[in-house]
A and B are shown apart, each in its own frame.
Chain A
Amino acid sequence: MKKIKILHMFSIANRLSTLNRTLVQITQNGYKSSISLDKLYPKSNLDTLAKPDFNLEANESFSGYIPIEKLKISQKTSSKPGGQHVNKIQTGVEIRFHVDSSNWIPEWIREKLKKNQINRINKEGYLIVKSEKTRKMLLNQADCMEQIRSMIYQASYKPKGLSEDEKLKIQIDKKVADGRRLVDKRSRSEKKSHRKHPIYDSISDYYN
Chain B
Amino acid sequence: MASVEKSLLMLRNLPRVALNNIKEFPEVIKERKERHALPRGKDAKFKLGADHKGAAQRMSRPRLGFGKSTPGYLRVPKEYYYSGHHLLRQYLPISLLQIQRLIDLGRLNPNEPIDLTDICNTKLLMFDPNKRHYGFQLTDEGADVFKSKINIEVQWILSELTIAAIERNGGAVTTKYYDIASVHAMSDPRKFFSSGKPIPKNGTPPLNAIEYYTSAANRGYLANPDQIRMERLKLAQKYGYELPDLEKDPLKDMLSKRKDPRQIWHGLEPGWLVNLKDEVILKPADKEWIEYYKS
Contact = CB atoms under 8 A, between A and B. Distances in A.
Nearest to B202: A33
B267 A27 contact: yes
A17 interface: yes
A141 B168 CA distance: 13
B71 interface: no
16 contacts: A2-B283, A13-B190, A17-B115, A17-B117, A18-B112, A20-B267, A23-B266, A31-B269, A33-B261, A49-B252, A50-B229, A51-B245, A69-B242, A136-B144, A141-B241, A145-B240
Contact of B117 (A13, A40, A66, A138): A13
Contacts of A52: 229-230, 232-233, 243
Contacts of A27: 267, 269
Interface residues of B, number: 63
Contact of B282 (A2, A46, A136): A2
B13 interface: no
Nearest to B142: A136
Contacts of A95: 240
Contacts of B189: 13, 16
A91 B226 CA distance: 34
A21 to B, nearest CB: 7
Given A17-B115, A52-B232, A35 B261 contact: yes
Contact of B165 (A36, A73, A138): A138
A17 B113 contact: yes
B150 interface: no
Contacts of A51: 229, 243, 245, 247
Interface residues of A, number: 59
Contact of A23 (B228, B263, B267, B294): B267
B204 interface: yes
Nearest to B146: A138
B225 A48 contact: yes
A30 B259 CA distance: 9
A78 to B, nearest CB: 13
Contacts of B247: 50-51
A20 B239 contact: no
A44 interface: yes
Nearest to A19: B267
A47 B266 contact: no
Interface of B: 109, 112-113, 115, 117-118, 121, 140, 143-144, 161, 164-165, 168, 172, 188-190, 193, 201, 204, 222, 224-226, 228-230, 232-233, 236-243, 245-247, 252, 255-256, 258, 260-263, 265-270, 279-283, 285, 294-295
A73 B207 CA distance: 43
Nearest to A22: B267
Shortest 3 CB-CB contacts between residues of A and residues of B: A23-B267, A20-B266, A20-B267
Nearest to A47: B256
A48 B229 contact: yes
B42 to A, nearest CB: 69
**Most interface-central of B140, B144, B239, B294 (chain A CB within 10 A):** B144
Contact of A48 (B109, B117, B172, B268): B172
Contacts of B279: 6, 10
Contacts of A91: 144
B121 A40 contact: no
A45 interface: yes
Contacts of B190: 12-13
B240 A73 contact: yes
Given A142-B240, A145-B240, A35 B204 contact: yes
B242 A145 contact: no
Given A32-B260, A139-B161, A54 B242 contact: no
A136 to B, nearest CB: 6
A207 interface: no
A89 B117 CA distance: 34
Given A47-B256, A144-B240, A20 B265 contact: yes
A24 B260 CA distance: 13
A1 interface: yes
Contacts of B261: 33, 35-37
Nearest to B227: A44
A125 B70 CA distance: 76
A16 B114 CA distance: 11
A138 B165 CA distance: 8
